[in-house]
Amino acid sequence: MTPYSLAFYIHAVTTGTVLGLRPTDSPDRVAAVLGPDFAESTFGGRAMSRDYGLTEFHFHRAHARDPWEGHHFGLQVHRLARRDRTVPGEVLRERYGRFTPRLRFEKLRRLLDRRGVPLVEIPEYPGNAPYYRTFWQPDSLTAVSFVAERGAHSTPALLRAGDVYGVHAPVTAREVETRRERA
């Protein structure tokens, strides 16, 4: 077994899930798995996010009377660089143990390659280049972004070049194609 938090990241990138939670799961399902300790933000009654520290789930609905539907999740890996052991949340710490303050992209990529889980580079959004690079896992529809080069006002001060910034799912084939068309 891969030690500590690496197993968590490998599973998330390989499956596009967090502890079995899909990006499309409801807020109640997410809370049933990750617990009641989250910060909630709503935006105009049609978008909502629940921040569990390391993990964020985002939801949307067409009208305020409609139920919330899962839209996407993000793993805010950059937050771990603050060395606050509470960032992953109790549920993830109980399951995976200690989370290191940095996740090196090449280490994650190497471990995924050994498991037959390829990552494909996709064009970065113009506002993030050249400071970030993003790699996509087409089977799980998951993307991993990392700091490609340091920028005084463009990258977190506590991260180094090669550190993972975040993991996001889903990143659809359509989104990847749009990025490629705009590159």
| 140: its two tokens | 């799980």
Range of weakest confidence among 6-10, 79-83, 88-92, 151-155 = 151-155
Check: pTM over 0.75? Answer yes or no: yes
The percent of residues in the chain predicted with pLDDT above 70, rounded, is 98
Residue appearing with tokens 């390391």? 54
User: CA–CA separation, 183 vs 172, rounded Å?
Assistant: 17
Instruction: Give the pLDDT of residue 19.
Output: 97
Angstrom distances, CA of residue 63 to CA of 28, 29, 33, 67: 18, 21, 26, 8
Residue 2 to residue 99: CA distance in whole angstroms: 12
| CA distances (Å), origin 41, targets 30, 45, 46, 48, 174 | 15, 10, 11, 6, 28
The band of 3, judged by pLDDT with boundaries at 50, 70 and 90, is low
pLDDT value for 153: 87
Q: Give me the pLDDT at residue 5, please.
A: 87
pLDDT single digits (tens) 123-140: 998 889 999 999 999 999
Average pLDDT, the chain: 95
pLDDT in tens, 151-164: 888 999 999 999 99
Burial class (CB in 10 A: 0-12, 13-18, 19+), 154: middle
pLDDT-based confidence at 78, cuts 50/70/90? Answer: very high
β-strand partners of 70: 59
Distance CA 30, CA 35 (A): 8
| Helix (H/G/I), strand (E/B), else coil: 149 | coil
pLDDT at residue 1 is higher than 60: no
